[in-house]
Structure 1
Amino acid sequence: MSFRPGSRIFNAFRPFFRQQRNQSTAAPEQSGFQKLWNSPVGPKTVHFWAPIMKWGLVVAGASDLTRPASQLSLNTNAALMTTGLIWTRWCFVIRPQNIFLATVNFFLFLTGATQTARILMYQRSLKGAEGQAEAEGREIKEELRVVAAKVEGAVKS
């Protein structure tokens, strides 16, 4: 028995060795859930679960909107803002494109930018308050000198 091309035995097993190329096999129509489940960014992949977990960062950043700016970290919020910006762009470069991941990263950028702006405005207001306090301190010091000179003059006379 030989398995040369053209022999009867080889031809009997041909479907196992070679796929027929001319067959048109139309995939059955899938429902919306099946399309999501079987998609390259569906729940069976990390491309789905990574954004789900990252929404926790967005929610935590949004909940920090109720905290005073003095209690927020500039470095942490600047890092969240930068991470969100970089990964939003990257989500459109990688394949498969993951719009869900791009969305969560964009909101992470917005949250980080909002908090960073709040912190910087707070720090600027502190510097303005320091300058104002120094000016008021100089005025009070001058008034005290005038009063001390009057008291000294009154004591001498």
Structure 2
Amino acid sequence: MTTKESYFEDVLENNASIIKANEGEKLELNTISITFKVTSEMSNDQLGIYEILLPPMAIGAKLHYHRFMDETFIVNEGLLTIQVADKEYQAEPGAVAYIPRFTPHGFRNDTNETVKLTLVFNPSQKREGFFKGLYETLNEAPIDPEKYLKLYNKYDSFPVDTSNMIPVRT
């Protein structure tokens, strides 16, 4: 005997994840720290939430855009500089910056204090692979621009200026 699917009853499940303050897979990209809080695997590729510690004078990303995902920045501590197209904004703790797809954006810390922020990607597009690829690429000396661009493009990131895309201050 087979069980008939009900079209009228909800099936409740407990698939919740509670990630505590110091939990999550952590990557150290040079001096930038990224902790995976909600991953693509956990959310069926619908949502990615990552905690970023951006040390003084560090660049998170130069001007780029996404075709298939939106990105939201939530500043928890410090002062984050967010570039959107040709304008720059200073985001203080509590600020939220929603960056829809096809919007050129970049972010950096221009201060002498660490910035702590939460990045949200929707959908997540397996963003953890991007961060792990960044870890590999940015730890090579010299950084290979072709490899960096290939990684960017694979994970729905497109630099506005490929001659100035590596996140280092010159």
- Same fold by TM-score, threshold 0.5 exceeded? no
Q: Which structure has the larger Rg over C-alpha atoms?
A: 1
What's the TM-score, normalizing by structure 2?
0.22
What's the TM-score, normalizing by structure 1?
0.24
Between 1 and 2, higher relative CO (CA 8 Å, sep ≥ 6) is seen in 2
Which one has a larger percent strand, Structure 1 or Structure 2?
2
